[in-house]
Chain A
Amino acid sequence: MADTLSMLNIVIPEIIVVLFAFLALFSDLKGKNRRLAGFITLVGFILAILYLLTLKGVEGNLLTFVLDSYAWSFKMLFLFASAIVAVISIGYLERAKSSVGEYYALLMLATAGAMFVVSARDLITLYVAFETASLSSYALAAYFRWDRRSNEAGLKYLFYGAFSSALILYGLSLIYGLTGRVELEAISLAISSSPVAYLALAMLIAGFGYKVSAVPFHMWTPDVYQGAPTSVTAFLAAVSKAMGVAIFLQIFVLGLGSMIGDWRLIIAVIAAVTMTLGNVVALVQTNVKRMLAYSSIAHAGYALVGIAAFNPLGIASAIFHMVTHALMKAGSFAVVGDEGESIHQLNGLWKRSRIAAFAMTVFMFSLAGFPPLAGFWSKYWLFWSAMESGLWILALIGVLNSVISVFYYARVIRAIYVIESPRTLKISRMSSAVVAAVICMTGILIIGVYPQPVIATLLEAIRAVYP
Chain B
Amino acid sequence: MIPQSYVLAFSILLLSIGALGVMTKRNPIVMLMGIELMLNAANINLISFSRLFPEGFTAQVFALFIILVAAAESAIALAIVVRIFRNHGIVDISLFEGLRW
Interface pair B52/A180, CB less than 8 Å apart: yes
Q: Are A131 and B19 in contact (CB under 8 A)?
A: no
B 16-35 to A, binary, CB cutoff 8 A, 1 in contact else 0: 00110010000010011001
Q: Is B28's CB under 8 angstroms from A173's CB?
A: no
Question: Do B98 and A154 have beta carbons less than 8 Å apart?
Answer: no
Q: Are A155 and B42 in contact (CB under 8 A)?
A: no
**A124 and B19 in contact, given A131-B69, A173-B49 (Cβ under 8 angstroms):** no
Count of CB-CB pairs between chains A and B under 8 Å: 120
Chain A residues whose C-beta falls within 8 Å of the C-beta of B61 in the assembled complex? 124
Say whether B99 contacts A223, CB under 8 Å: yes
* Nearest CB on B from A207, distance (A): 11
A399 adjacent to chain B (CB < 8 Å): no
B80 within 8 Å of A (CB atoms): yes
Are A177 and B45 CB-contacts (below 8 A) given A124-B58, A222-B99?
yes
CB distance from B88 to the nearest CB of A (A): 7
Would you give the 0/1 interface string for A267-300, flagging 1 where the beta carbon is closer than 8 Å to chain B? 0000000000000000011000010000000000
Bound-state Cα–Cα, A162 to B87, Å: 23
Cα(A138)–Cα(B77), bound, Å: 9
Cα distance, A162 to B42, chains bound together (Å): 13
The winner among A135, A166, A177, A285 for most chain B CB atoms within 10 A is A166
On whether the beta carbons of B39 and A166 are closer than 8 Å, the reply is yes
- Which of B28, B76, B79 has the most chain A CB atoms closer than 10 A to its own CB? B76
Most chain-A CB neighbours within 10 Å: which of B11, B18, B41, B49? B49
Smallest CB separation, B72 vs chain A (Å): 6
> Contact at A151–B65, with CB atoms within 8 Å?
no
Contact of B10 with A by CB under 8 A: no
Contact with B along A174-190 (1 / 0, CB 8 A): 10110010100000000
Residues of A within 8 A of B (CB): 123-124, 127-128, 131, 135, 138-139, 142, 145-146, 148-149, 151-156, 158-159, 162-163, 165-167, 169-170, 172-174, 176-177, 180, 182, 222-223, 226-227, 284-285, 290
